[in-house]
């Protein structure tokens, strides 16, 4: 790549991102998160698969009530980072502090039971089940009646089922998916599947919501809907959100602070405008002229 | 000409002229069918939750029945022995989860299938070591199951309904219905289907695979125990009983491996067609066609419905 080409691409990158940022600040100045309580801290985490180093010595924190974006080029280790946070991957080095407890590794059950919910890059729904049942499965940990009551399915177990169904109906209303309640999710278009997946995560009433590319593969209208849901979840329920996204406009719009990863390393951490002005971020995205 | 007459005319004349025999045959088919459905259900439960085709289901039937008879012969009262057997099935489920499923998590289905074959031979050896290899009598009366029969005079003949058959059909029906509701309408049932669909997503909502596996293996164990008691009461309790588990294969081909209603309907179709074909068309082929005709019926179904009657259609958006 010639120097000239880089400069013009760079200008374009700055232009698109600053546009979006201006739009966001015009709508609502998002509160500064820097002095809030830390919900989750990742400290010096390194993760490798055999010889491949997916994450190298990464540290950052997520503060209460913020929308924290994790961005970076393909293969930067973003999804691996989410997998470390909710315990699918166990880092070789480093610690994760959540709920005031520092651990070498999370476990998926522990993460879920302590309020970490997530969605997946390639929708991971229960394809044979209806949208309603998918979202209900997000209540798995909230329902307490034991095996015996479940077998009988009357009295307390039935009341419990009904109470949780009410919560789920509210989520269905919130996500505007009433009409597909009973449809097996395998038959739904991609955009709606993503919405059901968000619903399942919301049904867990999470404290920290991890969204892995919630807008990937969506058209403009679907992206706008999804952005609205993310903002509403953050505003109304005060849910802390960490999201991975490729669409720079969306990232600049939604997030309070941004972590930038490249080849498994953290190369920038700051507000959207700080990050977009950072030379190493621009280099990582556009390549450096040699 | 005579062959065509024997195939297409003669059997129907017999059915029409002796309706009492027809009803008797249908009844026998129905009872076998409910028991086949129960066995098939054991396979479906484990397959749905873990993608494992559990070859050991047949030996679990024998193992459950042998434990019951064995405990009783040691002087344990029948109902206490039954409760202990339920506990044994639970321990078996927990052991299988800990020592077979857990170390092999994320392996190919064929590897897990091989592991269940290993489990089968282990259980055969272990069962023979503990209980001995000779056939035993099921403790039918001691368990309070009726042994008499109702003789009904109707349609110009005598229809004999064994009371044990009636209770077998009732118990199998009740268990199938209870399991169907349990797995479709409750939290644990949803968790089970969730695990079947997507391990990672299931884990992300806080479902623990280990717990679900213990539950399905336990449920399959209870189903096996019930089958063992019922079938043991109709013949005797021996290792040959595991052969009837193979009858579940055509049922599964018919019903689809993942469908509870499929197991029920498939079981009834196999049970009824086997007895009807044996009684009316069997003599023409020299009799005893019961042992192979279900596989033949299943093969014909496979030609037209490769996913089974109720098997999940594979929906793939491209």
State which residue of chain B sits closest to A85, comparing Cα positions: B204
Rounded-to-integer distance, Cα A210 and Cα B188, Å: 25
Note whether A70 and A83 are within 8 A (CB): no
Q: Would you say residue B11 lies in a domain? A: no
pLDDT, block means (10 residues), chain A with 290 residues: 53 51 44 72 90 90 92 89 91 89 87 91 85 88 63 67 86 90 88 91 92 88 91 90 88 90 90 87 74
A137·B208 Cβ contact <8 A: no
Mutation pick from A89, A118, A128 vs chain B, by most beta carbons of B within 10 Å, is: A128
Q: Would you say residue B318 lies in a domain? A: no
Q: What's the pLDDT score for residue B157?
A: 77
Q: What's the pLDDT score for residue A23?
A: 44
CATH hierarchy code of domain A1-115+208-290: 3.40.50.300
What number of CA atoms fall less than 13 Å from residue B83's CA on the CB side?
4
- Chain B residues bordering chain A (beta-carbon distance below 8 Å): 178, 181-182, 185-191, 193-194, 196-198, 200-208, 215, 258, 312, 315, 317
CATH number at residue B176: 1.10.3470
Q: Is the ipTM of this complex over 0.90?
A: no
Q: How many domains does chain B have?
A: 1
Q: Which of A124, A147, A189 sits opposite B188 (nearest CB)?
A: A147
Q: How far apart are the first and last CA of chain B?
A: 54
B250-269, pLDDT tens digit by residue?
Answer: 888 888 787 888 888 889 99
- A157 CB neighbours in chain B (<8 A) are 186
Rounded-to-integer distance, Cα B229 and Cα A250, Å: 63
Binding-face residues of A in 33-92 toward B, CB within 8 A: 86, 88
SS3 assignment for chain A? CCHHHHHHHHHHHHHHHHHHHHHHHHHCCCCCCCCCCEEEEEEEEEEEECCEEEEEEEEEEEECCCEEEEECCCCCCHHHHHHHHCCCCCCCEEEEEECCEEECCCCHHHHHHCCEEECCCCCCCCCCCEHHHHHHHCCCCCCCCCHHHHHHCCCHHHHHHHHHHHHHHHHHHHCCCHHHCCCEHHHCCHHHHHHHHHHHHHHCCCCEEEEECCCCCCCHHHHHHHHHHHHHHHHHHCCEEEEECCCHHHHHHHCCEEEEEECCEEEEEECHHHHHHCHHHHHHHHCCCC
Q: What's the pLDDT score for residue B13?
A: 83
B208·A109 Cβ contact <8 A: yes
Q: What's the pLDDT score for residue A27?
A: 41
SS3 assignment for A13-57? HHHHHHHHHHHHHHHCCCCCCCCCCEEEEEEEEEEEECCEEEEEE
Q: Which of A113, A137, A150 sits opposite B194 (nearest CB)?
A: A137
Please report, for chain A, the start and end positions of each structural domain, with discontinuous segments joined by +: 1-115+208-290, 126-205
| 3-state DSSP assignment of residue B305 | coil
Note whether A277 and A88 are within 8 A (CB): no
B197·A141 Cβ contact <8 A: no
Q: What's the pLDDT score for residue A20?
A: 46
B194·A129 Cβ contact <8 A: yes
Strand ranges of the sheet holding A38-49, from the earlier edge strand across to the other edge: A52-63, A38-49, A93-98, A101-103
List of chain B residues with pLDDT < 50 = none
Domain holding B223, by residue range, is 21-304
Rounded-to-integer distance, Cα B313 and Cα B252, Å: 15
B206·A112 Cβ contact <8 A: yes
Q: Which of B186, B201, B207 sits opposite A120 (nearest CB)?
A: B201
- A133 CB neighbours in chain B (<8 A) are 190, 193
User: Rounded to a whole number, what is the distance in Å from the CA of B218 to chain A's nearest CA?
Assistant: 12
């Amino acid at each position: 790549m010639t120097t000239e080409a880089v400069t013009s691409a760079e200008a374009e990158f700055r232009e698109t991102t600053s546009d979006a940022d201006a739009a966001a600040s015009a709508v609502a100045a998002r509160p500064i998160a820097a002095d809030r309580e830390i919900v989750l801290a990742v400290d010096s985490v390194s993760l490798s698969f055999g010889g491949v180093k997916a994450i190298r010595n990464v540290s950052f924190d997520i503060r209460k009530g913020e929308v924290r974006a994790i961005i970076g080029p393909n293969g930067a280790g973003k999804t691996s980072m989410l997998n470390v946070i909710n315990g699918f991957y166990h880092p070789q080095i480093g610690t994760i502090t959540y709920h005031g407890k520092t651990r070498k590794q999370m476990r998926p059950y522990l993460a879920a039971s302590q309020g970490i919910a997530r969605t997946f890059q390639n929708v991971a729904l229960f394809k044979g089940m209806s949208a309603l049942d998918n979202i209900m499965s997000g209540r798995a940990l909230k329902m307490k009646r034991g095996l015996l009551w479940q077998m009988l399915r009357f009295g307390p177990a039935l009341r419990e089922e009904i109470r949780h169904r009410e919560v789920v109906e509210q989520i269905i209303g919130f996500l505007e998916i009433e009409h597909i309640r009973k449809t097996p999710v395998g038959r739904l278009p991609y955009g709606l599947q993503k919405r059901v997946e968000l619903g399942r995560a919301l049904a867990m009433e999470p404290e920290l919501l991890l969204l892995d590319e919630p807008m990937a593969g969506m058209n403009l209208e679907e992206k706008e809907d999804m952005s609205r849901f993310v903002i509403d979840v953050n505003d109304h329920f005060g849910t802390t959100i960490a999201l991975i996204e490729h669409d720079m406009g969306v990232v600049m719009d939604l997030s309070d602070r941004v972590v930038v990863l490249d080849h498994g390393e953290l190369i920038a951490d700051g507000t959207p405008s700080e990050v977009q002005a950072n030379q190493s971020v621009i280099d990582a995205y556009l390549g450096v002229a040699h | 000409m005579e062959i065509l007459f024997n195939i297409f005319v003669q059997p129907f004349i017999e059915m029409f002229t002796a309706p009492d025999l027809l009803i008797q045959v249908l009844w026998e088919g129905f009872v076998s069918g409910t028991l086949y459905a129960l066995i098939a259900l054991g396979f479906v439960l484990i397959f749905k939750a873990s993608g494992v085709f559990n070859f050991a289901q047949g030996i679990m039937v024998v193992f459950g029945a042998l434990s019951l008879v064995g405990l009783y012969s040691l002087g344990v009262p029948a109902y206490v022995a039954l409760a202990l057997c339920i506990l044994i099935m639970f321990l078996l489920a927990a052991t299988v989860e800990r020592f077979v499923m857990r170390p092999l998590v994320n392996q190919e289905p064929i590897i897990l299938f091989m592991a269940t074959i290993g489990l089968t031979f282990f259980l055969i050896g272990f069962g023979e070591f503990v209980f001995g290899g000779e056939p035993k009598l099921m403790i039918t009366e001691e368990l309070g199951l009726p042994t008499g029969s109702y003789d009904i005079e109707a349609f110009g003949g005598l229809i004999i309904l064994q009371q044990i058959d009636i209770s077998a059909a009732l118990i199998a029906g009740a268990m199938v219905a209870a399991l169907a509701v349990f797995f479709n309408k409750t939290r644990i049932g949803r968790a089970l289907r969730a695990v079947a669909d997507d391990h990672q997503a299931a884990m992300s909502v806080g479902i623990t695979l280990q717990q679900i596996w213990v539950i399905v293996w336990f449920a399959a164990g209870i189903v096996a125990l019930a089958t063992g008691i019922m079938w043991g009461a109709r013949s005797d309790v021996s290792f040959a009983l595991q052969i009837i588990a193979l009858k579940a294969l055509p049922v599964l081909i018919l019903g689809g491996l993942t469908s509870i209603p499929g197991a029920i309907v498939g079981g009834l179709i196999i049970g009824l067609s086997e007895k009807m074909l044996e009684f009316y068309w069997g003599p023409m082929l020299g009799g005893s066609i019961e042992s192979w005709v279900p596989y033949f019926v299943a093969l014909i179904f496979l030609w037209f419905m490769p996913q089974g009657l109720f098997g999940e259609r594979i929906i793939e958006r491209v």
